[in-house]
Amino acid sequence: MSRSLIVQKFGGSSVANPERIKRVAQRVVETRRQGRDVVVVVSALGDTTDELLELARQISQDPPERELDMLMATGEQVSVALLAMAIEELGEDAISFTGAQVGIRTDSSHTKAKLIDINARRIQQELAKGRVVIVAGFQGISVNQDITTLGRGGSDLTAVALAEALDADACEIYTDVEGVFTADPRIVPNAHKLKSISYDEMLEMASLGAQVMQARSIFVAKRFDVPIHVRSSFSSREGTMITKAAKAMEDIVVSGVTLQRDEAKVTIRDVPDKPGMAAQIFKELAAQDINVDMIVQNVSREGATDVSFTVVKHDLPATLRVARHAAARVGAGDVATDEGVAKLSIVGIGMRSHSGVAAKMFEAMARERINIEMISTSEIKISCVIRKAHAERAVRAIHQAFGLSRR
Amino acid sequence: MSRSLIVQKFGGSSVANPERIKRVAQRVVETRRQGRDVVVVVSALGDTTDELLELARQISQDPPERELDMLMATGEQVSVALLAMAIEELGEDAISFTGAQVGIRTDSSHTKAKLIDINARRIQQELAKGRVVIVAGFQGISVNQDITTLGRGGSDLTAVALAEALDADACEIYTDVEGVFTADPRIVPNAHKLKSISYDEMLEMASLGAQVMQARSIFVAKRFDVPIHVRSSFSSREGTMITKAAKAMEDIVVSGVTLQRDEAKVTIRDVPDKPGMAAQIFKELAAQDINVDMIVQNVSREGATDVSFTVVKHDLPATLRVARHAAARVGAGDVATDEGVAKLSIVGIGMRSHSGVAAKMFEAMARERINIEMISTSEIKISCVIRKAHAERAVRAIHQAFGLSRR
Set of chain A residues whose Cβ sits within 8 Å of the Cβ of B60: 85-86, 88-89
User: Residue B303's pLDDT band (boundaries 50, 70, 90)?
Assistant: confident
Set of chain A residues whose Cβ sits within 8 Å of the Cβ of B146: 101
CATH number for the domain that contains residue B123 = 3.40.1160.10
**Is residue A44 domain-resident?**
yes
In chain B, residues 76-105 whose CB comes closer than 8 Å to chain A: 77-78, 80-82, 84-86, 88-89, 95-96, 98, 100-101
Q: ipTM surpassing 0.85, yes or no?
A: no
User: Residue A19's pLDDT band (boundaries 50, 70, 90)?
Assistant: very high
Task: Check B89 against A55: CB less than 8 A apart.
Answer: no
Set of chain A residues whose Cβ sits within 8 Å of the Cβ of B63: 85, 88-89
Q: Measured between CA atoms, how close is A7 to chain B, in angstroms?
A: 21
pLDDT at B71 over 80: yes
**Is residue B11 domain-resident?**
yes
Q: Are A176 and A230 in contact (CB under 8 A)?
A: no
pLDDT at B211 over 90: no
Q: Nearest Cβ partner of A55 from B82, B96, B145? A: B82
Would you call B311 an interface residue with chain A, using a CB distance cutoff of 8 Å? no
Q: How do residues A67-102 score in pLDDT, each as one tens digit?
A: 999 999 999 999 999 999 999 999 999 999 999 999
Would you call B23 an interface residue with chain A, using a CB distance cutoff of 8 Å? no
Set of chain B residues whose Cβ sits within 8 Å of the Cβ of A96: 67, 70
Position A48 scores a pLDDT of: 92
Q: How do residues A155-174 score in pLDDT, each as one tens digit?
A: 999 999 999 999 999 999 99
Q: How do residues A275-328 score in pLDDT, each as one tens digit?
A: 777 788 888 888 888 888 888 877 667 778 888 999 999 889 999 999 999 889
Nearest residue of A to residue B135 by CA position?
A70
Set of chain A residues whose Cβ sits within 8 Å of the Cβ of B64: 84-85, 88
User: Residue A393's pLDDT band (boundaries 50, 70, 90)?
Assistant: very high
Chain centroid offset of residue A131 CA = 31
Q: Which of B82, B104, B146 to mutate to test the interface with A (most CBs of A within 10 A)?
A: B82
Task: Check B70 against A84: CB less than 8 A apart.
Answer: yes
**Is residue A78 domain-resident?**
yes
Task: Check A86 against B59: CB less than 8 A apart.
Answer: yes
User: Residue A39's pLDDT band (boundaries 50, 70, 90)?
Assistant: very high
Q: How do residues B159-191 score in pLDDT, each as one tens digit?
A: 999 999 999 999 999 988 889 999 988 899 999
Collapse the DSSP code of B148 into the 3-class scheme (helix H, G, I; strand E, B; otherwise coil) and give the result: strand
The segment with the largest mean pLDDT, out of A242-246, B90-94, B403-407, is B90-94
User: Residue B314's pLDDT band (boundaries 50, 70, 90)?
Assistant: confident
Position B251 scores a pLDDT of: 65
How confident is the model over A347-364, as a mean pLDDT? 85
Q: Are A332 and A324 in contact (CB under 8 A)?
A: no
Size of interface A-B (CB pairs under 8 A): 109
**Is residue B167 domain-resident?**
yes
Q: Which domain holds residue B116?
A: 5-176
**Is residue A199 domain-resident?**
no
Would you call A63 an interface residue with chain B, using a CB distance cutoff of 8 Å? yes
Position A2 scores a pLDDT of: 63
Q: Nearest Cβ partner of A74 from B18, B60, B78? A: B78
A203 or B56, greater pLDDT: B56
**Is residue A153 domain-resident?**
yes
Nearest residue of B to residue A103 by CA position?
B145
Residues 6+ positions from B24 with CB-CB distance below 8 Å: B10, B14, B15, B40, B42, B83, B86, B174, B233
**Is residue B379 domain-resident?**
no
Report chain A's mean pLDDT, rounded to a whole number.
Answer: 90
**Is residue A163 domain-resident?**
yes
Cα A158 to Cα A118: distance, rounded to the nearest angstrom: 10
Cα B405 to Cα A201: distance, rounded to the nearest angstrom: 82
How confident is the model over B346-365, as a mean pLDDT? 86
User: Residue A406's pLDDT band (boundaries 50, 70, 90)?
Assistant: low
Position A303 scores a pLDDT of: 77
Instruction: Map chain A to HEC letters.
Output: CCCCEEEEEECHHHHCCHHHHHHHHHHHHHHHHCCCEEEEEECCCCCHHHHHHHHHHHHCCCCCHHHHHHHHHHHHHHHHHHHHHHHHHCCCCEEEECCCCCCEEECCCCCCCCEEEECCHHHHHHHHCCCEEEEECCEEECCCCCEEECCCCHHHHHHHHHHHHCCCCEEEEEECCCCCECCCCCCCCCCCECCEEEHHHHHHHHHCCCCCCCHHHHHHHHHHCCCEEEEECCCCCCCEEEECCCHHHHHCCCCEEEEECCEEEEEEEEEECCCCHHHHHHHHHHHCCCCCCCEEECCCECCEEEEEEEEEHHHHHHHHHHHHHHHHHHCCCCEEEECCEEEEEEECHHHHHCCCHHHHHHHHHHHCCCCCCEEEEECCEEEEEEEHHHHHHHHHHHHHHCCCCCC
Set of chain B residues whose Cβ sits within 8 Å of the Cβ of A78: 52, 55, 71, 74
Q: How many CB atoms lie within 10 A of CB B30?
A: 13
Task: Check A22 against B70: CB less than 8 A apart.
Answer: no
Set of chain A residues whose Cβ sits within 8 Å of the Cβ of B99: none
pLDDT at A336 over 60: yes
Task: Check B77 against A81: CB less than 8 A apart.
Answer: no
Q: Are A14 and A20 in contact (CB under 8 A)?
A: yes
Q: How do residues B259-295 score in pLDDT, each as one tens digit?
A: 999 999 999 988 887 777 778 888 888 888 888 888 8
Count of domains for chain A: 1
Q: Which amino acid is at B100?
A: A
Set of chain A residues whose Cβ sits within 8 Å of the Cβ of B147: 98
Q: Nearest Cβ partner of A82 from B55, B78, B147? A: B55
Nearest residue of B to residue A19 by CA position?
B59
pLDDT at B1 over 50: no
Task: Check A18 against B58: CB less than 8 A apart.
Answer: yes
Q: Nearest Cβ partner of B86 from A59, A86, A147? A: A59
Q: How do residues A220-262 score in pLDDT, each as one tens digit?
A: 999 999 999 999 988 889 999 999 875 555 467 888 999 999 9
Task: Check B84 against A74: CB less than 8 A apart.
Answer: no
Task: Check A84 against B67: CB less than 8 A apart.
Answer: yes
Q: Nearest Cβ partner of B18 from A55, A100, A122? A: A55
User: Residue B210's pLDDT band (boundaries 50, 70, 90)?
Assistant: low
Would you call A60 an interface residue with chain B, using a CB distance cutoff of 8 Å? yes
Q: Measured between CA atoms, how close is B172 to chain A, in angstroms?
A: 24
Q: Nearest Cβ partner of A101 from B18, B89, B145? A: B145
pLDDT at A1 over 50: no
